[in-house]
Structures are given as structure tokens and as C-alpha cells.
A and B are shown apart, each in its own frame.
Chain A
Amino acid sequence: MTAVLKAQGLGKRYRRRWALSDCTLDIPAGQVVGLVGPNGAGKTTLLHLAIGLLQPTTGQIEVLGDRPPANPAQLARVGFVAQNAPTYGGLTVAEHLRLGAHLNPGWDAVMARDRIERLGLEPRQRVGKLSVGQRAQLALTLAIAKKPELLILDEPVASLDPLARRDFLQGLMEAVVDQGISVVLSSHLVADLERVCDYLIVLVGSRVQIAGQVEHLLSTHHLLTGPRRDPARLPEDQHVISASHTDRQTTLTVRTEGPIHDPAWTVSKIDLEDLVLAYMSRPADAGRRPALEVQR
């Protein structure tokens, strides 16, 4: 499968601060990719590098086989919805669609109109009068009507209430079914992404902590509980992501490709939220090790 996004040693520095460091990724096409990390982790920087709004300080990035923004043809293949789904408050819904038609060569006017109708948006309505959720849906409509191969969304649901959030993700997933687009979307909440993503990237403190197929991540991470012991004495193929101890008990989150044989441990499954939290709460220096990519 071809990569929709490939990064090699990618980094971006603002003055003295690295917003993104040593980022290496290889994301196959046809996936819904979740980019998760706390605020300020570098998610927006990575997405802006992907659409060519920023140029890398170090390393390389390729999107759909080209360095962004390679040319208008490549830009037409990538859709982008910026944080807070920017729209023009003074323009009407219909004017937004006309603008989209003018700016995008591959514009699908029928699909855009259908979608607006299904959402119950009145074409003559000024966008400034719409709810936050409706504006987000309009921005999504504009982005998918340009018929991109890859759709990139920066925190698309952060400002939405639970119902609008569900409606938005529903619209997005239906577009994935109808058009087979690849999607990269970021969120600081893994719960938003859990069900809709195939692939997850955890970005903390400007570094990719882990990236891989959700299913693979879930099958290679385990929660171990047992009598207190030193995590440094685990077998070599078991990487400790997080550890906590009481006087008598040790609880570890470990990543390993193999089975865990030690009978002293009670091994439990870990859900995606706990897995991500384990990476997020790692000490800052843990991320200094080379970022690792879990392949299928």
C-alpha cells in the first residue's frame, strides 16, 4: 500500500524551541489516523507541515508522494480543516459553496448541496448565525466536496458538544465509506478517536511516542500487576511504559511483541485510553529515545 504521509527525521523549530523533533512516520493509505497528544505537543505543527503551511527545519515530509506544497495539483488532492473550522461569518451557506466551487477544480456541487440539505442548513442563512456544530459541518462539507484523497482535520471536534461531536464524526465516517478517503485527525482526547481510527499516533512533548495500527497497539500492550519488584529486571523484550508501586505491589504498563510467561504477574488487557495515558504521563526524558514505529 502506498503511503499517504511519510516523514523522516522531521523537525520544526521556532526560535529556540522545537515544536516537533525527530519525527519518523509511514502511514499507509485508506486509513483513519488519529493524532493524539496534550495541548502544545506539536500536533498542529505536524499537520501544518503536512499541508505545506510550514516548512521543516530538519528532515523531510512527503504527502501522497510529494513534498508539500508541491504544486496546485497536489494541493487539490489534500483537504484541510483548520482548528475551530474557520468559516466566513458574513457570507451565507450558499456563498460558501460557490466559493468552494470557484477555488477547487474537482468540486462536487451535487454532493455539497445534498449534504447541506441533509444537515438541514438553509442556503440563505448567514454563517455567523449558525451554531458551532453547524459551522463545523459546513467546513467538513467544503473539505469533502473538493474530493480530496487525503483529508486532514485539526482538532475538529474539540469545541463541539457531545451530540454535535457524534454528528460530525458520523458525517466524516460516511464520507470515508462513500469516497474511500484517507483521514488524519487530531484530538487531545483519545475517547473521541477510539472508535473511528485504525491507526494512532501519540505525540507528546514534540516527539512521536508511538505510532501504529490500533489493533496492534492493543495486542502488544499489557497491564501487569504483581508483588513489588524492580521493573529494570524484566525480560529484554518487555518495555516498561509506565510503572507505579505501593509497598507491596507493582503495576506496570509494558509493550512487548511476545507473550508474558512470568506467573507472578496478573496480565490484563489495556484499553486505548489507558495506553495513551501511559505514554502521556511518561517522564519527559523517556521520549528522548528514538521514536519507535510499530509495524504490522
Chain B
Amino acid sequence: MNRGTVIEFHLEARSGVAPYLQLIHQVRQALRIGLLSEGDQLPTVKDVVGRLVINPNTVLKAYRELEYQGLVTARPGIGTFVTGTLGEGSLAALGPLRRELRRWLGKARRSGLDDESIEALFLTTFRTSAEDVEGTGRWAG
């Protein structure tokens, strides 16, 4: 079952997001895009601590929270393993959606929007539509 660790964490120092939330986010992101799947091992606490030079409690807290969300399971003395899935059913839909988004981005650029405007447009639309479907599919954190 153990295929070794497949992801490496990184931290954005000035993002204003608490480090343990950044770790959680990276695992969830990796699950969503299929980079992590069931049976994969997360880096050990000591690995993460050594690599990022952070407090071990930060890593433990992130792993505990992921366990609480039902995504990973800690096996004492061995490591923490992915046991849950996120949006697996929609994984197949990613390709077509990405293509559609690419087409849309092309259209936006041809209309003369620069990257900053595209991002702003996307984010504001994303937010308003997220408010419409409050609570569904939004990452709570």
C-alpha cells in the first residue's frame, strides 16, 4: 500500500494564512487534482519539520485536522496515509472543464482584458456565485 511520499510541502511566508492551514490546503489541493490518492503516505512529521524548519505542533495540527475531515489516517509508528477522497467523481470532468476555461480565457484576452482584469473578473464572479450556493463545495478554512 505504501508507495512512498509523493508530495512536498512549501510555505508562503507573507500570505497571512496560518502555516497549518497552508499544509491542509496543499493536501486537499493535491487530492483534488489527483496528485494524491488513497494509500499514499504523507511526509512524516519529522520530514516536514526538517524541510520547512517549523514547529512540529504545526504539522501535527494539520494532520489531525485532515484526519478529522476523514481524509487521512495516522498509523502510529508508521506514518500518515491518505484514506479519503475529494471530488473523485469529478476528476473525469476536470479535463473538459479545463479546456472550456482555456477557451474562455482566450476569449477574455481577445476582448482586450489583461491578466489582472481577468483574475479580478474571475474572483468576483466566483465569489458572487459561491454566495448563491452558500456552503456547497467551498473549502471551509
Question: Chain A residues in contact with chain B, CB under 8 A?
Answer: 30-32, 166, 169-170, 173-174, 176-178, 195-198, 215, 218, 269, 271
Contact = CB atoms under 8 A, between A and B. Distances in A.
Contact of B49 (A31, A174, A198, A269): A174
B57 interface: yes
The 8 A-B residue pairs with the shortest CB-CB distance, nearest first, are A195-B54, A173-B49, A177-B46, A177-B56, A170-B53, A169-B53, A269-B16, A196-B55
Given A215-B18, A269-B16, A271-B16, A195 B46 contact: no
A173 B48 CA distance: 10
A218 B57 CA distance: 16
Given A215-B18, A271-B16, A174 B46 contact: yes
B45 interface: yes
B39 interface: no
Nearest to A194: B13
A180 to B, nearest CB: 9
Contacts of B16: 269, 271
B19 A195 contact: yes
B18 A173 contact: no
Nearest to B16: A269
B57 A173 contact: no
B45 A177 contact: yes
Interface of B: 11, 14, 16, 18-19, 45-46, 49-50, 52-58
A197 B55 contact: yes
A31 B14 CA distance: 24
Nearest to B52: A195
Given A177-B45, A271-B16, A32 B55 contact: yes
Nearest to A271: B16
Q: From DSSP, what is the main secondary structure of chain B's interface residues?
A: helix
Contacts of B56: 173, 176-177
Given A173-B53, A173-B54, A173-B56, A218 B18 contact: yes
B18 A170 contact: no
Nearest to A178: B46
A262 B50 CA distance: 43
B19 A173 contact: no
A178 B49 CA distance: 11
Contacts of A196: 53-55
Contacts of B19: 195
B46 A198 contact: no
A218 B19 CA distance: 12
Contacts of B58: 195
Nearest to B11: A195
A206 B64 CA distance: 39
Contacts of B55: 32, 173, 176, 195-198
A271 B17 CA distance: 10
A269 B21 CA distance: 15
Contact of A170 (B11, B14, B50, B57): B50
Contacts of B50: 170, 173-174
A30 B52 CA distance: 20
A168 B14 CA distance: 23
Contacts of A30: 57
Contacts of A215: 18
Contacts of B57: 30-32, 198
